Structure 1
Amino acid sequence: MSHIVNKKKKVLLAEDDQGLVTILEKVLKKNYELGLSYDGAQTLKMVREFEPDVVVLDIMMPYLDGLHICQQIRQDRGQNDRPKILLLSARATEQDRQLGIAAGADDYITKPFRIDDLLKRIDDLAKG
């Protein structure tokens, strides 16, 4: 009889708003192995080293914005659909959402958002 150990899925939170990071870190650590990044350059490095299942990525980041990070991740990974990418943005127009999806994001959520909505989206991406 084999025992299958369910490893926690890995989530990389790439966000430069420390207040938001503090809140999300508390709730995400309950169900996920969590990595944190505070700028674009660090995010790309963490994607390569941490190998997350899901990247929660703010669009407005220092050094390199989230759209460019998203494009770079997809370019580096080729046809691999991992990690899944959820973009966070204060930009709420349909055009902004379409730009995010075109950059390679799997989902897009606007700020402010409800924590339970964000968690559901992360859960769905981590499963799929």
Structure 2
Amino acid sequence: MANYKILLADDEAALRFLLTETLADEGYVITETADGKEAAERLQEAVFDLVILDYMMPERTGVEVCEWLRSHDNPNRHAPVILLTAKALEKDRERAKAAGATRYIVKPFSPLQLLDTVEELIRAGANE
């Protein structure tokens, strides 16, 4: 498996650690950020195969980062985005979709569920 690069932005350090361990064990190269502003900066600097954003983060929310990602010139404009959220309301799901999120995963979720989604999206991207 190629060393696919993933940006993981979440303000919960424990969850970030768990997800980084899970994904790194599968050979993914993870770049971590703790807030939306830092995530947007990384997305301008480097190319990622996949982006994982937490909905609620300081500085900029995951939805705001996703909206920016899809509407501004940057190397990751078309990268798949997984939005992680504790918000299970339909209006939040609609907002995520409108922002350009590829998938929406509601917390709590198992790291293996996330891994399955990551693999599915990366496979789909590799076949484009």
Per-residue displacement from partner, 1:34-77 (whole Å, max 9, x unpaired)? 11011111000111223111111001111111111000000124
| Partner Cα distance (2:68, 2:77) in 1 | 13
Structure 1 consecutive aligned stretches of length 4 or more whose deviation exceeds 2 Å? none
Match runs of 1:40-119 below 5 Å: 40-77=36-73, 82-119=78-115
| Partner Cα distance (1:77, 1:85) in 2 | 16
Does residue 1:24 correspond to 2:19, yes or no? yes
| Partner Cα distance (1:40, 1:66) in 2 | 6
Identity %, equivalent residues: 34
Report how far residue 113 of structure 1 moved: 0.5
| Aligned residues of 1:14 and 1:57 also touching (Cα < 8 A) | yes
Amino acid at match of 1:34: I
| Structure 1 vs Structure 2 CA RMSD | 1.6
| Partner Cα distance (1:48, 1:83) in 2 | 12
| Aligned residues of 1:54 and 1:126 also touching (Cα < 8 A) | yes
| Aligned residues of 1:15 and 1:57 also touching (Cα < 8 A) | yes
Q: Helix, strand or coil for the counterpart of 1:8?
A: coil
With normalisation by structure 1, the TM-score equals 0.88
| Partner Cα distance (2:58, 2:13) in 1 | 13
| Partner Cα distance (1:39, 1:81) in 2 | 19
